[in-house]
Amino acid sequence: MHFYQFHIGDYKSHTHHLSLIEDLAFRRLLDHYYLHEAPIKQRDIARQIGMRDNEQEVLTVLNEFFVSTDKGFVNPRADEEIAKYRKFSEDGKKGAAKRWHKDSNGEANSPPNATPIATNNHKPITNNHKPIKEKATVVATPDGVSQSVWDDFKALRKAKKAPITQRAIDGIIVEANKAGWSLEQALTECCVRGWQAFKAEWVADKPKLVNRFDVATTTVPSRQERDPALVKLDEDRLKVVPPTPEMLEKFKLIRAGK
């Protein structure tokens, strides 16, 4: 066997008391047992599993988890798995023999629905009748399209299992020109609407989206008259009366704590 099921919980519950070396020895003994599908001979087993310097630990694990018999040490649990594997393999062979049974002349007969096997007396079967599908290629980010919009559009097409081809992009460019839109604006609309393609008629009555990279940041236009808040500050400043000498003297006494 080159594969066997490994139940982590079951293994841990039975081996939590083992040291690191003993745990390694048990794993290697199991691998050796499954690989050869035969009882383990005690003689030289430590060297065979690459643990000749830890022979005592190997023998300890062998005596704890394997059963000694006249043919060698066996593991009942592993034997069950090996028996299941052999039965599965044998059933597969029997099934194949039934599908390809032989007639009375000893010639192999294929199943009723089997694909005919080509011989020298047959013309080769070709696939010329099958349509050739357009293969997806790596399309670079088109000119005038920001990387963020292009990445969003690629993710959208991938989610819809629609590969991006140059033919698809060229079609969107044609439709965007019909609508008076840039390719960037058309792809942005596709991402917003969840469209994998773009048609001018779909946005005939809709104003085009304005890309934040296409226009400068706008501000509130200035007015000719002054801001009322600034006018109020100037008026309050004129109303301020300077403190008298008596008030300044009181302030000095207050700061001195008198």
Distance CA 55, CA 41 (A): 13
Write down how long the chain is.
258
User: How many C-beta atoms lie closer than 10 Å to residue 110's C-beta?
Assistant: 12
Taking each helix axis from N to C end, the angle separating 20-36 and 76-99, rounded to the nearest 10 degrees, works out to 30
Distance CA 198, CA 162 (A): 14
The pLDDT, as a whole number, for residue 137 is 57
Distance CA 240, CA 33 (A): 102
Max CA pair span of the chain = 137
- Tokens representing 228 are 């009322």
Distance CA 38, CA 72 (A): 9
Distance CA 258, CA 256 (A): 6
Tokens 């005919």 map to which residue?
116
Q: Domain segments of the chain: what residues? A: 8-82, 135-216
The tens place of each residue's pLDDT in the chain, 258 residues long, gives 777 778 788 888 889 899 999 999 999 999 998 889 899 987 789 999 999 999 999 999 999 999 999 988 999 988 888 888 888 888 888 877 777 765 555 555 555 555 555 555 555 555 555 555 555 557 889 988 999 999 999 999 999 888 999 999 999 999 999 989 999 999 999 999 899 899 989 888 766 555 544 444 444 455 566 778 777 777 877 777 777 888 888 878 888 876
CB 19 within 8 A of CB 51: no
The pLDDT, as a whole number, for residue 253 is 83
| Residues in CB range of 153: below 8 A, 6 or more apart | 164, 187, 190, 191
